């Protein structure tokens, strides 16, 4: 289900309510005073949280210890994904004490991608960093990611080269999935599942996120041909709480991979994609009908209803696929994700390396 975030504003333009379209309402808790565009933070760190009550304060302390020495202006967005423990209340305490902390709350558990989409929506920094809220990602790596962004890259992906997870349920499926994703998307990332990533805001805010798509952001962004770097990142064993992932998510990744491949290859040419699917069905259907007509004419026997019926069904299905492709062309031309418009990100990113881009 799409994780699109919407806002309701009063006459002065102030946000008075926030909602997640198609899911459930959210709540934004921002105790910081509004700042001008010139005074906005350079960096936004986004951390989804789900039943991480014991990790909230250690995560905050680890972030401040890692980022304060850099001298950069930054903010922290903690997205509570419908936690059932005291995660929200502990995050609110931090937000009340430190204006750099923002809290976004889902009224129920919507998933990591929806949580990241919400954090990205409300982030105001020029560079956005996403990470897990369980402290398995190390905030001390963030300055290295920022240096890589400053060197001209648009997306920096973390690689957990010494991953501290279970071999059977986490490491082996992850290696197989990363190999498959690389082959299908042609984006050679060693660790797509690492949540520690850095993005230029002008890139990530234009990429649609839904389902389990957060791990496919580099592949989605490849349409605009950004510069992508992968750097080694530290990975720690979980100290508190329980992991929310397992083998059950494998089928979701496979379905999302099919969606990504379709979008990347045929988003601008849906009629071609559906036409290619329709061709073998059309040939099979016409072959069955032609065979029955020829056999009936030569032998003088009546048509075989099962064979001729199957032929008619196949031909009808082929035409339905073609019509679906035509409908896709219409949606593409009238929709909000077109190749030539999405490719403008490349130009925007190139300019962003020379001068600051207003948002």
157 has which bridge partners?
197, 230
Express as a percent the part of the chain with pLDDT over 90.
28
Determine phi and psi for 187, rounding to 5 degrees: -110, 105
| CA–CA gap between residue 15 and residue 28 (Å, rounded) | 9
User: What are 280's two structure tokens?
Assistant: 């073998």
| CA–CA gap between residue 176 and residue 107 (Å, rounded) | 35
pLDDT given for residue 352 in this prediction: 39
| CA–CA gap between residue 233 and residue 129 (Å, rounded) | 13
pLDDT given for residue 173 in this prediction: 67
Quick one: which of 131, 132, 152, 134 has its CA closest to 142? 131
Dihedral over alpha carbons 341, 345, 346, 349 (to 10 degrees): 160
Higher-scoring residue by pLDDT: 31, 182: 182
| CA–CA gap between residue 319 and residue 309 (Å, rounded) | 16
Higher-scoring residue by pLDDT: 75, 223: 75
At 135 the three-state DSSP class reads: coil
Contact 31, 62 (CB under 8 A): no
Dihedral over alpha carbons 56, 58, 64, 70 (to 10 degrees): -120
User: What are 204's two structure tokens?
Assistant: 């990530």
Higher-scoring residue by pLDDT: 33, 119: 119
Tens digit of each residue's pLDDT (9 = 90 or more) over 143-169: 999 999 999 899 998 888 776 656 555
What average pLDDT score do residues 81-102 get? 91
Tens digit of each residue's pLDDT (9 = 90 or more) over 71-89: 999 999 999 988 888 999 9
| CA–CA gap between residue 25 and residue 330 (Å, rounded) | 31
pLDDT given for residue 274 in this prediction: 86
pLDDT given for residue 12 in this prediction: 39
What average pLDDT score do residues 237-261 get? 66
Dihedral over alpha carbons 135, 141, 143, 149 (to 10 degrees): -110
pLDDT band at 47 (very low <50, low <70, confident <90, very high): very high
pLDDT of 108 > 50? The answer is yes
At 20 the three-state DSSP class reads: strand
| CA–CA gap between residue 235 and residue 176 (Å, rounded) | 19
pLDDT of 356 > 60? The answer is no
């Amino acid at each position: 289900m799409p994780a699109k975030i919407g806002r309701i504003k009063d006459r002065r333009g102030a946000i008075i309510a926030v909602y997640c379209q198609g899911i459930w309402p959210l709540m934004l808790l921002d105790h910081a005073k509004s700042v001008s565009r010139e005074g906005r933070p350079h960096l936004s760190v986004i951390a989804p949280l789900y039943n991480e009550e014991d990790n909230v304060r250690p995560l905050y302390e680890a972030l401040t210890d890692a980022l304060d020495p850099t001298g950069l202006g930054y903010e922290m967005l903690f997205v509570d994904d419908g936690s059932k423990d005291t995660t929200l209340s502990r995050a609110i305490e931090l937000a009340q004490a430190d204006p750099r902390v923002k809290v976004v709350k889902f009224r129920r558990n919507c998933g990591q991608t929806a949580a990241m989409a919400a954090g990205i929506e409300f982030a105001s920094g020029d560079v956005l960093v996403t990470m897990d809220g369980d402290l398995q990602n190390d905030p001390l790596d963030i300055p290295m990611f920022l240096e890589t962004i400053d060197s001209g890259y648009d997306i920096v992906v973390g690689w957990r080269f010494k991953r501290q997870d279970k071999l059977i349920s986490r490491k082996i499926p992850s290696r197989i999935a990363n190999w498959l994703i690389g082959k299908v998307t042609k984006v050679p990332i060693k660790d797509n599942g690492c949540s520690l990533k850095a993005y230029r805001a002008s890139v990530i805010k234009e990429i649609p996120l839904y389902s389990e798509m957060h791990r496919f952001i580099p592949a989605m962004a490849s349409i605009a041909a950004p510069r992508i770097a992968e750097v080694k990142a530290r990975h720690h064993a979980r100290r508190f709480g329980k992991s929310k992932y397992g083998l059950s998510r494998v089928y979701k990744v496979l379905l999302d991979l099919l969606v990504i491949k379709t979008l990347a290859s045929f988003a601008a040419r849906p009629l071609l994609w559906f036409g290619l699917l329709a061709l073998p069905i059309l040939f099979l259907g016409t072959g069955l009908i032609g065979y029955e007509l020829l056999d009936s004419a030569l032998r003088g026997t009546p048509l075989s209803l099962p064979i001729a019926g199957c032929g008619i069904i196949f031909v009808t299905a082929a035409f339905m696929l073609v019509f679906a492709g035509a409908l896709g062309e219409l949606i593409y031309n009238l929709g909000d994700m077109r190749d030539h418009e999405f490719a403008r990100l490349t130009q925007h990113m190139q300019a962003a390396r020379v001068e600051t881009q207003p948002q």
